[in-house]
Structure 1
Amino acid sequence: MVLLGVAVTALTACVSTGARSPAPDASGMARSDTYQALADLGARYKSNPRDKNTVINYAAVLRSNGQSQQAVAVLETGVANFPRDVDVSIAYGKALTADGRFDQALSVIDNAIRPDAPDWNALSVKGAILDQLGRNAEARQVYSQALLIAPGEASVEANIGLSYAMTNDLKLAEQHLRRATSLRGANSKIRQNLALVLGLQGRFDESRALYAAELPPEQVEANMAYVRGMLSQPNRWETVGKG
């Protein structure tokens, strides 16, 4: 129940796969639906661990369910089977970031980025990792590069907003997240992060309404309690984006 887009949760991130087959967004799923997705994808993975889309999608749902170590293991196999595949490398970087292995994740993503033809998704993931490392100004420069390649990409715009949230620039965070929610490809994670940023500004009614449009009632109440708890913590920004 922290900012969902940066790194995890895409790193979650808020990072989409653009024109590729998108990984499922489990942030707005009911728990029973998440379990069903895990069961279905797990069975498909066991049946054919060399299917690229299954590897990426299974790892994404594992990350969304907090099983980051298992997601890393799945993608280690994926990287062995697809050693030069950018999509698999990006997914591996996300899983490593979700598991708190930021330096290793940065190395993986840097190796996946071609200087002559950089992938916007890889750049967005790199920015998210830099944000996790506290290198926020560098992260925003990388996001700007990603937007030059993919202007109007919701996930990149959202990650910029999350970057500002991590440095307590909540008005700028709201501005970018609102723009992200209006763009094609906006998902539940982005809308929930906007709800959190509004809540951290004390705008609880707006925050609750956004959460209620995305989550079951009990999760709405848990998130609102979390927001209020963050406001009472003097060092609350140390926890943003790390859960």
Structure 2
Amino acid sequence: MKTNNPTGHASRAAIVLAAGLVALSGCASVRGGGINTSGYRMAEDFAGLSLSQQAQVSYRLESAYLSRPGRLNSGIEYSEYLKATGDYKKANEVMRQVAALNPGSGEAQLFYARSQAALGYYPDALRTVRQAAALSPNDWRVYNEEGTILDQMGQPMEARMRYRKALSLSPNNPDVLSAMATSYVLTHDLPTAENFLREAVNQRDAGSDVRVNLGLVLALQGKQEEAQRVVTAGVSAEEAQQNLAALAAATAPGGAWEQYAVGM
């Protein structure tokens, strides 16, 4: 099943734990949050643009890509922009061409795997991300992505092995710890997921979505007051309200957490 990139407070819950919650219903999505270590503008960096800004950015990125389709930076950023606007199919087509023109680049293969996974093409994405790992064996991101894909394919034990590999290359990485936690959410081991997320939140470079993930896992265990404290601590008043809205949307009747809890 294909999933459009959700926007707004009510959908943020699906974004921050997409690898777990969305996979439960057989869908794919794109995870946001965390610290961008790629050197490229990512889908979340383009979120919130006005229509006029989107038009300007779209023109610049498309022009840069079309002028040099094999250039990594412009191709990846254009693909990420397309994801941000919900055009996952075109984003995948762009990355397919970029990867084909850069067969020796682990970076190109990694982003192509991500675009395939965003469409739910998990077996293809797994093959592609393993090509990325062969080309860039010391890049923690490829193992983290492989773990996420394996989780969405229903292979949590194999997924956690890849997360451990990623952590061996990037110790205490909050994005990897959060992905590991999501793996345990998938298998309904919420206390273990909570432990990993608490460790992730304590890292200096943890993104705000990691904190929201922890709040969601706490909320699912009935720890509502602590969940609200967690998602509002150390952030601006505006972000605190956004996080509380995400928490409320996820735990509302018929929300993502209620659907998840049915399978527990």
Short-chain TM bin: 0.7 to 0.9
1:150-161 to 2 correspondences below 5 Å: 150-161=170-181
Note closer, same or farther for the CA distance 1:184–1:161 as it changes in structure 2 (3 Å cut): same
Match of 2:14?
2
Alignment TM-score, normalising by the size of structure 1 = 0.79
Q: CA deviation at 1:114?
A: 1.8
Aligned partners of 1:161 and 1:174 also within 8 Å: yes
Match of 2:187?
167
1:1-150 to 2 correspondences below 5 Å: 1-2=13-14, 4=16, 7=19, 11-12=30-31, 18=37, 20-24=38-42, 26=44, 32-33=48-49, 38-49=54-65, 50=68, 51-114=71-134, 117-150=137-170
Aligned partners of 1:16 and 1:121 also within 8 Å: no
Q: Which 5+ residue runs of structure 2 have no aligned equivalent?
A: 1-12, 20-27
* Residue type of the alignment partner of 1:233: Q
Percent of aligned pairs with the same amino acid: 27
Q: If you compute each CA radius of gyration, which structure gives the higher value, 1 or 2?
A: 2
* Residue type of the alignment partner of 1:86: G
Higher helix share: 2
Alignment TM-score, normalising by the size of structure 2 = 0.74
* Residue type of the alignment partner of 1:33: L
Q: Which 5+ residue runs of structure 1 have no aligned equivalent?
A: 239-243
Tell me, in whole angstroms, the C-alpha distance in 2 between the residues paired with 1:180 and 1:24.
21
Tell me, in whole angstroms, the C-alpha distance in 2 between the residues paired with 1:168 and 1:187.
24
* Residue type of the alignment partner of 1:24: M
Q: What's the secondary structure of 1:141's corresponding residue?
A: helix
Question: Whose relative contact order is higher, 1 or 2, with alpha carbons under 8 Å and at least 6 apart?
Answer: 1
Q: CA deviation at 1:237?
A: 5.6
* Residue type of the alignment partner of 1:44: R
* Residue type of the alignment partner of 1:141: M
* Residue type of the alignment partner of 1:4: V
CA deviation string 1:207-237 (max 9, x = no partner) = 3444454747477435413223344436656
Aligned partners of 2:34 and 2:206 also within 8 Å: no
Match of 1:221?
245
CA deviation string 1:37-74 (max 9, x = no partner) = 75454223222113422322333343345432232122
